[in-house]
Structure 1
Amino acid sequence: MPDISVKPTAARWWLRLGIALTGLSAVAVMATPSVADGPKPPPDGARAQFAYVGNLIGGTISVIDTATNTVTTTLNTGSTDAVAATPDGARLYTTSLVSDLVRVIDTATNTVLTTVPVGDAPEGVAITPDGDRAYVTNSRDNNVSVIDTATNTVTTTIGVGGLPIGVAITPDGTRAYVANVGGGVSVIDIATNTVTTTIPISAADAPFGVAIKPDGTRAYVANVGSDSVSVVDTATNTVLTTVGVGDRPQNVAFTPNGARAYVTNQNSDNVSVIDTTTNTVLTTIAAGDGPFGVAITPNGARAYVTNENSDNVSVVDTATNTVLTTVGVGNGPRGVAIVSPPSSGPKGKVVSKKPVNVYEEPTRKSEVTGSLSPKQVVTIECKANEKDDDRALGGGDDGIWYRLAEEPRGWVESKYVKVLDHVRVPSCPDQTA
């Protein structure tokens, strides 16, 4: 078994929590899902963005406003490890490996809606691109719980390898990749919820965190035992190459264009930046003490790195690969996700009486890319003043442009709908077009 010990401070935390596992005394950790997994949220600026940070020891979630890099809210949730948001940003799913449950948080109000009992020592969590299901790794049970997000109940449990930690889902929503510290990466067919293959990465490597490249062609697996990242071809589920990184790599996140992968190295206190074309390390960024989780903003401009031992978050400028600032958070920060919560303002609906054209963008009206069927519902956000509506893209006498959002959830990127003859009223009830 490789030496995969952590720094003394982190080790003491685990012993106090009673999470030490035979032969793997301090490896019960999770992979933070990248914002690059699945569909991208609305473009930066459309809605306020926050970094939600799970604090394992502090029993809280710190909410960082990414515009000011200050903590605006602290949620007293109980011990929190992994965090993952639904594609619409409305819900946050967080794991508690101490309590063996998943908490579901309403991001508009920052309150816990419900808890979902899962297996023993849940660590990682990832949500399907359609937002319908959450996949949770249960490290002591060697399985994955599948949660129906409509009912927030576990619908099935899938056996995987030994000590599953990281989990990531392909952008097309067809497969989930689970990193097992005991050896191998399990590939789950989401349609059938069965393991179709196991990618042979050894127990000596101790595969730990996993992320999927935005185009879905590669899975990058952080190997805590061999200080490396395995690059997996998702078409063949074979390892193409291995990239050496820092000491005890934990998690991986991609820039939205997939050009670079950011890898947290917990024992060397830094972040390796991998060029995904050449699969070489471009540079190494000094972080805080014990960097663990990493998430990148949808525009790719910033990376947020949780430092587990120094109780803070390093904010990295990805253009210069330097730390811009450090934000203090709770005790033992681990998981991090970038979230654009829905506005808490009133909402309305537009129901079309006839087909409505969908355009690539408002300024290119001749390029019709699709249409809405009669009576198809398009959810819009309504406010008393049209100027304040962050989804209104302009308009005129013949209608108002809105970004197209499919019911019941989810953004369709770069698609816009023109709602004809829409009459806007201050109270913004349901309207017909």
Structure 2
Amino acid sequence: MNKTLSIVSCTLPIAAALVALPASAQQVPNAQPDRAVSAQDRFYTSDQFSNTVSVIDPSTNTLLGVIKLGDPTPANLSPLYRGQLLVHGMGFSPDRRTLAVVSIGSNSVSFIDTATNAVKHTAYVGRSPHEAFFRPDGREAWVSVRGEDYIAVLDGTTFKETGRIAVPNGPGMTIFSPDGKYGYVCSSFSPETVVIDTRSKRIVGRVKQDSPFCPDIAATPDGKQVWLTLKDVGKVMVFDAKPPFAVMKTIDTGPITNHVNIARTAKGQFAYVTVGTQNIVKVFRTDTFEQVASVPVGALPHGLWPSGDGSRIYVGLENDDAVAVIDTATNKVIATIPIGQGPQGVAYVPGAVPSGQGLDNLVPLAKAQGKVQVVLEGQGQSQVSLFDQGQVQILQAAVAGLAPKQTFTLGLAARQDGTDTVEPLAKFMTNPAGAAIVNAVGPIRQIVKDAAPAERRFLVIRSGAPDEAGAVVQRQKP
């Protein structure tokens, strides 16, 4: 999902900036000074199903266009396909001139010029990378290679791989301390976060995770805390950013807890957490860990990032193809902006466009706008989005309320109550919170929405594997 480190001021020497952060410093990455929202800023989302990067002007909260990194399905299934696939993670350089965009399916990091929206280099790394973030000094970009067991270290200028750092299997994400001394690496496959000394590149601390699935991690601007999310059990953990890196708090947040980010405002410092199956963002104080707000935002909130002054939080809505904008003074949504399909990682980059309108190399949203949403209800409730790819759709279901750690089948039934034979679409297992994200591909919209009554089918979830006649637990809502 995404928080890179940005330097205090591009007009100061890097060493001086790191030695003395101004008292007004607010936002991580890099605890840079406040910068009011302006037309030079950009908010970006990585759109997994349209393989685009959506570009928003936060001064007007409008979509300017998308950067096309690849094609939708089925064009991207060809063995001769050369575009990026499953555009997912996002970070940016300290000078705010380079956007780093990770594509899981093509094992790549696309480095994009923020002023021109042009791809200036593509680096290919190991299996299924997840996030890429620059060190505060800008000399390196660290890529979490989640499908393997290392961090790929890329040169911050040439973007060539210069080394690897061995970590527990399945590194989910790296975030750096504001002073650049530590890199905190959580894991998506192992129940352990490690702390790496950025100079020696050696592990100097270990933090036990309450579960093995952490997709996102954030450091507070004051350099005192690190927050991480545990998607499978619906929790956030907080640990001390300094040795011995002791756990300070574990908070139950809800099934499919996706990302966390930090904003400092006139009222204090707050952690914002996206809770996917509840379609909300929860807000916590970082001093008392008290929950102070719950903000309804839209379907399956994923990545989120504060503006350069902390006055707003921008939230990607994975199953709504939209961005919700939260006013941090009131914790109310003040705008909703249509974007590409299935936003994952996001980034707010203050001063991304130093001059001009920054519209070069952008294309219209076009087909990426198409989607259909349905609800399954019964034992719990699931929200289903069908992302239009032309003749087929990518189905994504945010399943909730089922028995934990059990096998289920999502399928199509001729009867709405699911009492007849079910044609399976996807087998899945729920996580410890009884939730799951389920995907399938096919001409599903034409069957569940557009077909004549005699030919129509209904989405249902049954217990057990596809070849088992399990009980129907959720049915498509009329």
Contact 1:162 1:183 in 2 (8 A): no
Structure 1 match to 2:339:
329
User: Once the 2 structures are TM-superposed, how far is the Cα of residue 295 of structure 1 from its aligned partner?
Assistant: 0.4
2:193 counterpart of 1:193:
no
Report the CA distance between 1:41 and its aligned residue. Answer: 6.1
Query: C-alpha deviations, 1:76-126, integer Å up to 9, x for none?
Result: 013421111112211101101111010000011110001011111010122
Cα deviation code 1:162-197 (max 9, x no counterpart): 222122111000111111122111111110122222
CA gap of 1:274–1:226, structure 2 versus 1, over 3 A, is same
Q: How far did residue 248 of structure 1 move? A: 1.7
When structure 1 is superposed on structure 2, of 229-238 and 33-42 the one drifting more is 33-42
CA distance in structure 2 between the aligned counterparts of 1:39 and 1:234, rounded to whole angstroms: 15
Per the alignment, in what secondary structure is the counterpart of residue 126 of structure 1? strand
Per the TM alignment, residue 49 of structure 1 is displaced from its structure 2 partner at its CA by 0.8
Is contact 1:41-1:88 (8 Å) kept? no
Partner residue, 1:74: 66
Shift of 1:333: 0.6
Q: How far has the Cα of 1:344 moved from its partner?
A: 4.3
The residue correspondences of 1:128-143 to structure 2 (distance < 5 A) are 128-143=135-150
Correspondence list, 1:285-296, <5 A: 285-296=295-306
Task: Return the offset for 1:313.
Answer: 0.7
TM-superposed CA distance for 1:202, in Å, is 3.4
Q: Distance in 2 between matches of 1:301 and 1:309?
A: 25
| C-alpha distance after superposition, 1:367-410 (max 9, x if no partner) | xxxxxxxxxxxxxxxxxxxxxxxxxxxxxxxxxxxxxxxxxxxx
User: 1:63 is matched with which residue: 37, 55, 68?
Assistant: 55
Q: Distance in 1 between matches of 2:197 and 2:273?
A: 26
- In 2, the alpha carbon distance for the partners of 1:254 and 1:42 equals 14
Matched ranges for 1:11-160 at <5 A: 30-33=1-4, 36-40=28-32, 43-44=35-36, 48-78=40-70, 79-160=86-167
What secondary structure does 2:60 align onto?
A: coil
Q: Provide the residue aligned with 1:419 in structure 2.
A: none
Give the residue type in structure 1 aligned to 2:57: D
Hey, what does 2:321 align to over in structure 1? 311
Offset at residue 142 of structure 1 (A): 1.9
Letter in 1 for 2:138: G
SS at match of 1:37: coil
Q: Deviations over 1:123-149 (max 9, x none)?
A: 012211122211111111121111111
Q: Is the Cα–Cα contact under 8 Å of residues 274 and 281 in structure 1 kept in the other structure?
A: yes
* SS of residue matched to 2:277: coil
Aligned counterpart, 2:181: 174
Note if contact 1:41-1:87 (Cα within 8 Å) is conserved in structure 2: no
| Displacement of 1:203 | 3.1
Cα 1:43–1:96 change in 2 (3 A) is same
Describe the shift of the 1:37–1:123 C-alpha distance in structure 2 as closer, same or farther (beyond 3 A). Answer: same
Kindly state the Cα deviation for residue 251 of structure 1 after the two structures are TM-superposed.
1.0
1:203-251 superposed Cα distances (whole Å, 9 cap, x missing partner): 36x3331100001110001111222111101122110111221322111
**SS in structure 2 at match of 1:141:** coil
Give the secondary structure class of the aligned counterpart of 2:344.
strand
Match of 1:299 in 2: 309
Letter of the 1:215 counterpart: D
Matched letter for residue 252 of structure 2: G
In 1, are the aligned partners of 2:193 and 2:208 still within 8 Å (CA)? yes
SS in 2 for 1:267: helix
- Whether the 8 Å CA contact 1:39–1:87 is kept in 2: the answer is no
After TM superposition, the structure 1 = structure 2 runs for residues 240-389 of structure 1, keeping only pairs within 5 Å, are 240-256=248-264, 259-339=269-349, 340-344=351-355
* RMSD, matched Cα: 1.8
Deviation at 1:307, TM superposition (A): 0.8
**Residues 159 and 270 from structure 1, CA distance in 2 versus in 1: closer, same or farther, beyond 3 angstroms?**
same
Residue 319 of structure 1: how far off its partner (Å): 0.7
Cα 1:118–1:41 change in 2 (3 A) is: farther
Tell me if structure 2 keeps the 8 A contact 1:246–1:272. no
Residues in 2 aligned to 1:32 and 1:175: alpha-carbon distance in whole angstroms: 14
Displacement of 1:332: 0.7
Q: 2: distance between equivalents of 1:260 and 1:42?
A: 16
Letter in 1 for 2:153: V
Contact 1:32–1:293 (CA under 8 A) maintained in structure 2? no
User: Are the equivalent residues in 1 in contact too, given 2:37–2:307 (CA < 8 A)?
Assistant: no
Hey, what does 2:10 align to over in structure 1? none
Aligned residues: 315
Q: How far did residue 32 of structure 1 move? A: 4.7
Give the secondary-structure state (helix, strand or coil) at the position aligned to 1:82.
strand
Give the % identical residues: 31
Gaps of at least 5 residues in structure 2 are 6-26, 71-85, 357-478
Q: Return the letter of the residue paired with 2:259.
A: N
- Whether contact under 8 Å (1:61, 1:76) holds in the other structure is yes
1:224 aligned onto 2:234: no
State the distance in 2 between where 1:333 and 1:32 align. Answer: 15
Are the equivalent residues in 2 in contact too, given 1:31–1:123 (CA < 8 A)? no
**Counterpart AA for 1:277:** D
User: 1: CA distance between counterparts of 2:255 and 2:103?
Assistant: 26
What SS does the aligned partner of 2:341 have? coil
For residue 245 of structure 1, what is the amino acid of its counterpart?
T
- 8 Å Cα contact 1:274-1:280 kept in structure 2: yes
- 8 A contact 1:184–1:207 mirrored in 2: no
